[in-house]
Amino acid sequence: MPIKSFRGNTPQMGERVWVDDSAVVIGDVNIGDDSSVWPLVAIRGDMHSIRIGARTSIQDNSCLHITHASTYKPEGHPLSIGDDVTVGHMAMLHGCTIGNKVLVGMSTTILDGAIVEDEVIIGAGSLVPPGKRLESGYLYLGSPVKQARPLSEKEIEYFQYAGLNYVKLKDEYLAESELISKNID
């Protein structure tokens, strides 16, 4: 697994984390227990911090980055992702804050300073502009994103299912890796 230090910061992994061999995790990154990082993901905490909670899945080809501190934005924008979050394939998350129990649809872009509260679904292909706040309990769609409707009870229950489903899947990948390692030794 390509884990790279940068400027004295080495990525920190919680218990039972799966990072695919084709993914890259660099710098000031902390990934919580039972989370998964799938093929071709780039997580680059080179000039600010990235924090990813427990039971969170970052799916294939997603790109996670930050906004560095500068004269333009003295404090910059770290990237923070809560627990039980599913980040769909090819998502771009840049210097934003994502709460707990969130589904980020495939090919969604969330930009600097945006805040996604807990229990939110963002539809595939959406654009969350800089500084936008997405209120808890709603489905958001579009480019730029707009509040579509309140989430149903079934959708809210889905957050728990999705998180646990990816925990089980990454556990299978971890078991396969351990089996392969034993056979090579």
Q: Domain extents for the chain?
A: 3-184
Task: Output the six-digit token pair for 57.
Answer: 């899945």
Write the Ramachandran bin of 16: left for phi over 0, alpha for psi from -120 to 50, otherwise beta. Answer: left
Q: Which architecture does CATH list for 3-184?
A: 3 Solenoid (2.160)
pLDDT computed for residue 185 by the predictor: 60
pLDDT computed for residue 74 by the predictor: 86
Low-confidence ranges of the chain (pLDDT < 70): 1, 181-182, 184-185
pLDDT digits (tens, 9 = 90+) for 97-109: 999 999 999 999 9
Task: State phi, psi for 170 to the nearest 5 degrees.
Answer: -65, -30
Distance CA 116, CA 110 (A): 9
3-state helix, strand, coil in the chain (%, to 5): 15, 40, 45
**H or E stretch at 170:** helix 153-184
Read off the pTM: 0.94
